[in-house]
Amino acid sequence: MREDPSFQRDDFVRERFSGALPPQEDRPSRAKLFWRRQRRLVRPAIVFLVVMGIAGAAGRLLYDAASEERFAPLRARLVEMEPLPIRHIVINGRGMTSEASIQEALGTSVGRPIFGFSVEAARQRLDELPFIDHATVERHMPDTVIITLVERTPIAVWQDRGHFMLINRAGEEVSDQGLTGKNAQAFLQLPLVVGEGANTAAASVIDALNKEPLVKSQVTALIRVGNRRWNATLKDGTTVMLPEGEEAAAFTRLARYQQSMRLLERPVQSIDLRLPDRMVVHQPPQAVPPPDGAKPDPSSPTPPADSTKQP
């Protein structure tokens, strides 16, 4: 039986090129070639993200107040190795505190190393400033320091037993140390609240008064009565008696009367608004003329005698 020549030829080809041609299953597919190319592109990006993540974690550790002292040597070493200068200082929440005092308390400035100061020590110095309730200081890598302030903003001047002090919305005293002339002028426009307990109850009545500009422009003081309700004193000395807990409604009524009849500019002694359905206005007492034949007051000057002679 003769052997098929084609089989012999195939065997010869396989034997001749067995070392040159890879097996069929070892040849890379199109998908494998695609992913090999993608890995070459993605690998640098992954390395960059890992490096940035490590730098960010290091920055957060160095910011953490509890680890400030522990990482001080590392921070100093980082400053020596790579200064990373501050390029931006962002201040949020500043109203009454001067920027110069904030910069001084921060203890660093633009151009200096971002790791060259302690955020915890800076925060403590900021908290000691007159109008600061509390502050936070953060490093944002690679070149930004962010300061966030919560200030104790005065809303009124409280007079108690002859003493005057600035108070905030909670009724707490606001130190007047560090006041500038500009701030002092602004505080002269603040409402005056008088009496025991006036400080803690002032915020709500001041909010109600601020909603009625016509009335606010005539009020010079708010006086706490019996730690229960308020009297408002007007520019001309008139007393307005306000109902307990209904100050907003009373101010709205006053604004309506002021607009229609200029009530707050009339010469009256007091205006009683304690009853919701009526208003009682007390006129000042009228001077009573002396009766006929009454002796003149010896303190009054005597008119000169008429020296003109009649013909």
Which residue ranges of the chain lie beneath pLDDT 50?
1, 7, 12-13, 16-17, 20-22, 25, 51, 62-63, 65, 302-311
Q: Is residue 46 part of a domain?
A: no
Q: Which residues does 284 contact at the CB level (< 8 Å), separation at least 6? A: 267, 268, 269
Q: Is residue 116 part of a domain?
A: yes
pTM equals 0.56
Q: Is residue 6 part of a domain?
A: no
Domain check: are 147 and 162 in the same one? no
Domain check: are 199 and 186 in the same one? yes
Dist CA 32 CA 30 (whole Å): 5
* Long-range pairs of 236-240 with CB within 8 A, sequence gap ≥ 24: 236/265, 236/267, 238/264, 238/268, 238/269, 238/270, 238/271, 239/269, 239/270, 239/271, 240/270, 240/271, 240/273
Domain check: are 185 and 254 in the same one? yes
What pLDDT was estimated at residue 306? 41
What's the CATH code of the domain at 207?
Answer: 3.40.50.11690
- Specify the number of domains making up the chain: 2
Residue 100: which domain range? 65-151
Q: Is residue 301 part of a domain?
A: no
What pLDDT was estimated at residue 91? 96
Residue 139: both structure tokens together: 């490093």
The number of CA neighbours under 13 Å toward the Cβ of 18 is 6
Residue showing tokens 């960059």: 48
Domain check: are 137 and 160 in the same one? no
Domain check: are 83 and 102 in the same one? yes
In this predicted model, what pLDDT tens digit does every residue of 54-84 receive, in sequence order? 555 555 554 454 555 666 666 666 556 566 8
What's the Cα-to-Cα distance from 89 to each of 86, 137, 144, rounded to whole Å?
8, 10, 6
